[in-house]
Homo-oligomer: A and B are copies of this chain.
Amino acid sequence: MTASTASPLPTVNRQFTLAARPVGMPKESDFRLVEAPIPALANGQILLRTLFLSVDPYMRGRMTGVRTYADPVDIGQLMVGGTVGKVVQSTNPQFRAGDIFAGYWGWQEYAVSDGKGLQKLDASVAPVSTALGVLGMPGMTAYFGLLEICQPKPGETVVVSGAGGAVGSLVGQIAKIKGCRAVGIAGTDDKVAWLTGEMGFDAAFNYKTTQDYVAKLKELCPSGIDCYFDNVGGAVTDAVLPVLNVRSRISISGQISQYNATKPEPGVRPYIYLLSKQSRAEGFIITQFMNRFPEGIAQMAQWLKEGKLKHREQIVEGFENAPRALIGVLSGDNTGKMLVKFSEA
């Protein structure tokens, strides 16, 4: 057994479990911080200490007791989530203490793993936290959700909702790289300024201070909308419909405005618009493209290196603040990728 020598091995794990199914926006009391013993490793196992936890809008769906494309989290179960951590103990010769991996071991400070599904990270290539953002699930969602579902062509106009978030801010930049006009919809003036400044979007607007979304979209998309990448849904998406061009493509990546709805809110049915414009709306789940992640990560890493792609992380310090961080994401508090950074042991 190869043990990490510097510090004594931890014996107590802290975890967040689901305490109650949220009604509307989750509250901190919907999560429970519990302690659990860390078992001794069986042969072939490793012990990981979590460095970063990703908090993402999709987690709201898992807290609801309905099976969609994934099983829900049951009451009392560990909250699921993407993680980056360091090996602190290993009985598996393929995993050395000190190595850093990305995985999906959820909201806990330590995890015992047999190593399956872990992705080894090289901190000299990119900061390891990027495996949860631009080079991880959000990055792949932007990359495949835009390029495969929307198939944007140079000169076309791409509109993205939730543009200030981890996925949306990348979608607009990939659209620019592909020669498109990129227009973002976001919820604060600061996000709008960041998008049209550092992120290089052609235009953006704050839907919270705009009265007539259709008029604003027509103003910012003088040639109409060819691709719409939707993270948000609701009234913002309704407003896109009258501005769609013939043969336009809508990629449905998220519907954050609807996740906390206690009953479905009636809205505009899109069919007559899709019919008259011969257009398409398609939902996707990023796991569809799992076998192409190496290609997507390589391309995004290349663009990062060339300075064509930028990203921002918003770090919440301390594991105990994870519920607050997720509530922040669901409230649109984040600019770029929201991460929870764990305190040093």
- The residues of B that contact A272 with a CB separation of less than 8 Å are 233, 255, 258, 264
Q: Does A246 have its Cβ within 8 Å of any Cβ on chain B?
A: yes
State how many residues of chain A have any CB contact under 8 Å with chain B. 37
**0/1 interface trace, chain A 256-275, chain B, CB 8 Å (1 if under):** 00100000111111111111
Closest to A254 in B: B275
Copy tally for this chain in the complex stands at 2
Measured CA separation A265–B266 after assembly (Å): 10
**Residues of chain A in range 56-87 having any CB-CB distance to chain B below 8 Å:** 61, 68-69
Q: Does A119 have its Cβ within 8 Å of any Cβ on chain B?
A: no
Is the Cβ of A280 less than 8 Å from the Cβ of B282? yes
- The residues of B that contact A61 with a CB separation of less than 8 Å are 276
Q: Which of B269, B274, B285 contacts A278 (CB 8 A)?
A: B285
Task: Tell me how far the C-beta of A71 lies from the nearest C-beta in chain B, rounded to whole angstroms.
Answer: 13
Measured CA separation A151–B284 after assembly (Å): 18
Q: Does A109 have its Cβ within 8 Å of any Cβ on chain B?
A: no
| Given known A-B contacts A278-B284, A279-B282, A279-B283, A266 and B264 have beta carbons under 8 A apart | no
Is the Cβ of B271 less than 8 Å from the Cβ of A269? no
Task: Tell me how far the C-beta of A244 lies from the nearest C-beta in chain B, rounded to whole angstroms.
Answer: 10
- The residues of B that contact A276 with a CB separation of less than 8 Å are 61, 68-69, 283
Closest to A70 in B: B276
